[in-house]
Structure 1
Amino acid sequence: MVTRERPRPLRRRPTVSVVVPCYNYGRYLPACVQSILTQEGVDVDVLIVDDASPDGSAEVARTIAVDPRVQVIEHVVNQGHLATYNEGLAKATGDYLVLLSADDLLTPGSLARATALLEAHPEVGFVYGFSAAFNDRTPTPRTRATSWTIWTGAAWLRENCERATNPVSTPEVVMRASVMHDLKGYDSRVPHAADFLLWLRAAARAHVGRVNGVDQAFYRVHGANMHVQEFGGMIRDITERNAVFEILFTEEGDRVEPVRHLHTAARAALARTALSLACRAYELNDGGDELPERLADLAESIDAEARGSRLWRRYERNVRRGRRPERPPRLRRLADRVDRRVRWGWWRWRGIRV
Structure 2
Amino acid sequence: MPKVSIVVPSYNSAEFIAATIESIEAQTFSDYEIIVSDHSSTDGTAEILQRYADEGRIKLTTLASGGGAPANWRAVTELATGQYLKLVCGDDLLAPTILAEQVAALDSNPRAVMAASKRDLVDAQGKRIIPPRGLGGLNGVMPGHVAVRRSVLRGTNIFGEPGCVLLRHESFREAGGWTDAQPYVIDQFSYCQVLMLGDFVTVPGSLASFRISDGQWSVELTHRQAAQVIGMHHDLADRYPGLLSRRDLLIGDSRARLMASARRLTYLWLGRRMRAGNR
**What is the one-letter code of the residue matched to 2:140?**
T
The CA deviation at 1:271 is 2.8
1:198 matched to 2:190: yes
**What is the one-letter code of the residue matched to 1:193?**
V
**What is the one-letter code of the residue matched to 2:95?**
T
> 2:101 is matched with which residue?
113
Structure 1 stretches of 4+ with a deviation exceeding 6 A read 275-278
Whole-angstrom CA distance in 1 between matches of 2:255 and 2:127: 35
Whole-angstrom CA distance in 1 between matches of 2:42 and 2:164: 28
The root-mean-square deviation of aligned C-alpha atoms, in Å, is: 2.9
- Structure 2 counterpart of 1:270, from 244, 249, 253: 253
The sequence identity of aligned pairs, in percent, is 22
Normalising by structure 1, what TM-score? Answer: 0.66
1:49 matched to 2:37: yes
> 1:161 is matched with which residue?
152
CA contact (8 A) 1:36 1:44 kept: no
Q: Secondary structure at the match of 1:137?
A: coil
Q: CA offsets, 1:216-260, max 9 Å, x none?
A: 1111111234xx45x553321221011112222223xxxx34x43
Residues 261 and 97 from structure 1, CA distance in 2 versus in 1: closer, same or farther, beyond 3 angstroms? Answer: closer
Structure in which a larger fraction of residues adopt strand: 2
Higher relative contact order (CA 8 A, sep 6+): 2
Residues 56 and 14 from structure 1, CA distance in 2 versus in 1: closer, same or farther, beyond 3 angstroms? Answer: closer
Gaps of 5+ in 1: 1-12, 281-285, 288-332, 338-354
Which deviates further from its counterpart, 22-31 or 99-108? 22-31
> 1:15 is matched with which residue?
3
1:65 matched to 2:53: yes
Residues 81 and 277 from structure 1, CA distance in 2 versus in 1: closer, same or farther, beyond 3 angstroms? Answer: closer
- Structure 1 residues 78-157: aligned runs within 5 Å: 78-139=66-127, 149-157=140-148
Q: How many residues align?
A: 258
**What is the one-letter code of the residue matched to 1:73?**
T
- Structure 2 counterpart of 1:172, from 140, 143, 164: 164
Which deviates further from its counterpart, 79-88 or 130-139? 130-139
Whole-angstrom CA distance in 2 between matches of 1:193 and 1:276: 14
Whole-angstrom CA distance in 2 between matches of 1:137 and 1:27: 10
CA contact (8 A) 1:161 1:262 kept: no
Whole-angstrom CA distance in 2 between matches of 1:20 and 1:14: 16
> 1:260 is matched with which residue?
243
1:32 matched to 2:20: yes
- Structure 1 counterpart of 2:236, from 248, 257, 275: 248
Whole-angstrom CA distance in 1 between matches of 2:83 and 2:58: 17
Larger Rg: 1
Q: CA offsets, 1:139-185, max 9 Å, x none?
A: 5899xxxx961121122123223233211222211111111111232
Whole-angstrom CA distance in 2 between matches of 1:137 and 1:263: 44
Residues 160 and 53 from structure 1, CA distance in 2 versus in 1: closer, same or farther, beyond 3 angstroms? Answer: same
